[in-house]
Each structure stands twice: as C-alpha cells, then as structure tokens.
Amino acid sequence: MDEQLRELIAEVCNYPLQSPEKQKALNRLLIQIQHLPGLARSSHPDYLHALNRTWEWLCQNIQNFKPRSPSLQESLVTWINGYLYWRIQDLYAPDARVPCSFDELVRGEKAGKTYLEQLSRTGIGLPNMTGIDGYIEQLQREDEQRIGLELERYIEEDPDRKLEKCHLTACPQCNCQLLSKRLSLEVPPDKFAPLARKLDVNYQSLVAHWKRKCLPLLQEIALNLGYKPDLEP
C-alpha cells in the first residue's frame, strides 16, 4: 500500500494546478485514502461536512505532506487526522449547530439577524452563490463528489463482477469494467476507434455494447450508491 500511495501522490504533484490530469489523479488518490484504516470518525450528523472539508484541504496541500516512520500509510493517516480532528471539533462548537428554524436568531457577534437573513447576505461556503440556494448547491456538490468517488472505486474493484460479466459474446475481454476504465477513467480517455482495433472487435459492436449495456449498468450502480438524477424536463 505504501508504494501505491507514494506513486499516486507523486502523480498528483507532477501535474500542473487546475489541469484535468491533476483532478483525475486526485480522484484516484482520494479513492484509496478514504478507505484507509485509522481515519478519525464521529457520530455527529454533520460528520460528512467535516470530512469533505478535509478532502478539499488535502487536495490543496498534498504537496506539503512529508512521510514519516513507521510507514507512509500511517503517517498519511496521522497527517490527515491532524486536520480532520479540528474540523470535527468545529461541528461541536456552539455556533456551528444547524438551527432548528431559519427564522431563529443568530447568536454571538451577528446577533439580531435570523439565520435566513444571514444566509441571504453571505451564503455558505460558495461566494458565487447566495443564501439557502448556495447552501443547497454546496450539499449537492459534496454528495455528487462522494458518489463519483465511490463509482470510480466500484469500477476499479468490481466487487460483484457485474461489469466484468457484461461483455461482448465473441470477446470476454471487451467487458464493461475494461471499457469503463479505458473510456472514462484513463487520462486522456481512449477513443472508440483505436480501442476497437486494440481489442480486435468491430467498431459498431463496441459502441453499441457501451451505449446499450455498459452505460445503463453504470447508471444502475450509481443509483444504488445514492445518485439522484435530475428528472426535470
């Protein structure tokens, strides 16, 4: 695990800021990190907010991580927990509680305003959004990021072999797991034509299998992970 983590961190640090390659590398790193044993946990109902803030911090500061003995994995968990612990403590601060009503008065230095008034002036976490809309947008983005990471992990591991078993009759190698990796997770993603030549399969058959079998299967998996599609016309 140490060597895998070392390679992933080196890959992240190798790409320029804001590049799609760096984002893909960060996603692969987070998939591994979020399941490491020893990460700080909390029964607080808003624990995921603290965790998401920690992932954002990690993405911005991973280049500053310095491995220590006895292992890279243990020192990485310790480094993450050093930040996550305080984000969990923030949840228990008196002013950090989620109000029962948006009409409730804010305490402290902004006393005299309701939470609704304060939200409409400042927003929460997203400076380009305002009020409750901004808060809802933040929650939606956090949830989508979590589901995206879990879906990538599912593709990599295929725990039920659903993706592997869904393949072209004449080419078991051309299965939905391989296609999902090559067409979605690779940086840059493969194109259909060269991939068909590499797998020695018919181009049209490959495209049809991806669209008719793989994409619906991936959607089903995403729904099971909690994805809620926008059903509005």
Average pLDDT of the segment spanning 218-225: 85
**pTM of the shown model:** 0.47
Asked whether 31 and 37 are in contact (CB, 8 A), the reply is no
Q: How far apart are CA 147 and CA 223, in angstroms?
A: 9
The percent of the chain in helix, strand and coil, each rounded to the nearest 5, is 65, 5, 30
Radius of gyration of the chain measured on its C-alpha atoms: 22
Angle at 53 between CA 52 and CA 59, to 5 degrees: 90
pLDDT, tens digit (0-9, with 9 covering 90-100), for 138-165: 555 666 667 777 888 888 889 889 999 9
pLDDT, tens digit (0-9, with 9 covering 90-100), for 168-208: 998 999 999 999 999 888 767 889 999 999 999 999 999 99
Long-range CB pairs of 30-37, under 8 A, 24+ apart, other chains included? 30/55, 30/58, 30/59, 30/149, 31/149, 31/152, 31/153, 31/156, 32/1, 32/4, 32/5, 32/8, 33/5, 33/58, 33/76, 33/80, 34/149, 35/153, 36/73, 36/76, 36/77, 37/77
Q: Is the pLDDT of residue 120 over 60?
A: no
Bridging pattern class, strands 171-175 and 167-168: antiparallel
The residue ranges of every structural domain in the chain are 1-98, 99-159, 161-224
Provide the pLDDT confidence category of residue 36 given band limits of 50, 70 and 90: confident
